[in-house]
Amino acid sequence: MSALKWLDNIRDYLKKRVKYTASDPGNFEVLWTFRATRLQLYSLCILFLLVFAVLTGLFVVKGPLAYYFSKNDVTIERTKLEEQNLRIKGLNAKLAAQEKYLVTLRRIMNGETIEDSSDIQVPEVAGSIDGIDTEPTGAEKEISEKVKDDLRTGKVQKKDRNIPFFSPPVVGVISQNFDATTHPGVDIVTNRDRTVLACLAGTVVYAGYTRKDGNVVIIDHANGYLSVYKHNRAVLKKAGDKIQMNDPVAIVGNTGENSSGPHLHFELWHEQIALDPEKYIEFKN
């Protein structure tokens, strides 16, 4: 049988009209009857199935069964929320460790005695705007060992050294001056998003975020000098980086609870003693 002949037979089969009758089996009385082609009957059945499928879907999604079918989705979302909570707790722990490290570092630079030597362990760096997250570097471990030696001797050996030349990290207007007791640095108001430059060559020993001081960079220079840069919008270096004078290290910002506007808080330390930066650096334009 050719294909055309086969298609003709199918068409004739579908177009043939058929009488459909329902009767009472007790007395054979005709209850209802109608005539239709097989094509019409099949089309009606398909339409009925489509309507049934749509109504069933709505019943499952919006009706009483929705709760049971959505259980898997709720479980997945709950798992995601639990994972996010664990990550948030981990980040909070890192921030707390960094905050504790900075507080301890300041106490050390002020000459205070630290009873628990574990407080001076360098924490994992995390939280900068660039997502820096690094293990303690060789430079960090070296500084940590140096601080431990100072604690064991109980004093800092003073040596006569020539004061180096410091380049201004930024230029602007001093909004708050140095006070050894309450404000061991200077606040320089300058243009928003100005690049913060290293005042002297050295090694970055800390680059991270703290709740009070925002994005912070600490640089260890030769001969016992440290410089500190706070409230930055972004940190451009990571702990362990070797830098030269005037290398970009951060961007001026307004991060941290102790900041009320865009500025750079700059500190200069020598052998654990805070220095007045204005005595060594000219910050004016």
Q: For CA atoms 151, 116, 96, 181, give the dihedral sign.
A: negative
Helix (H) or strand (E) holding 19: strand 17-23
Q: What is the pLDDT of residues 115-156, one digit of tens each?
A: 554 444 444 444 444 443 434 455 545 555 554 454 443 333
Predicted local confidence at residue 111, as pLDDT: 53
Cα–Cα distance between 20 and 112 in angstroms, integer?
103
Instruction: Give me the percent of the chain exceeding a pLDDT of 70.
Output: 69
User: Do residues 226 and 219 lie in contact, with contact meaning Cβ atoms separated by under 8 Å?
Assistant: yes
Highest mean pLDDT among 5-14, 133-142, 224-233: 224-233
Arithmetic mean of pLDDT, 264-271: 94
Predicted local confidence at residue 75, as pLDDT: 63
Mean pLDDT of the chain: 75
Q: 182-198 in b/e burial notation, b at 16+ Cβ within 10 A?
A: eebbbbbbbeeebbbbb
Q: Is the pTM of this model over 0.75?
A: no
Q: What is the DSSP letter of 185?
A: S
The answer to which of 129-138, 214-223, 232-241 has the lowest mean pLDDT is 129-138
Cα–Cα distance between 128 and 234 in angstroms, integer?
7
Helix (H) or strand (E) holding 81: helix 71-109
Arithmetic mean of pLDDT, 48-73: 64
Strands annotated E in 151-260: 173-176, 186-189, 195-197, 202-210, 214-220, 225-235, 242-243, 248-252
The answer to which of 33-42, 237-246, 264-273 has the lowest mean pLDDT is 33-42
Domain 173-279 architecture: Distorted Sandwich (2.70)
Predicted local confidence at residue 125, as pLDDT: 43
Higher pLDDT, 244 or 34: 244
Higher pLDDT, 45 or 167: 167
Query: How is the chain split into domains, by residue range?
Result: 3-66, 173-279
Arithmetic mean of pLDDT, 258-285: 91
Higher pLDDT, 85 or 48: 48
Predicted local confidence at residue 45, as pLDDT: 83
Cα–Cα distance between 77 and 85 in angstroms, integer?
12
User: Do residues 269 and 225 lie in contact, with contact meaning Cβ atoms separated by under 8 Å?
Assistant: yes
Q: 3-class DSSP state for residue 103?
A: helix
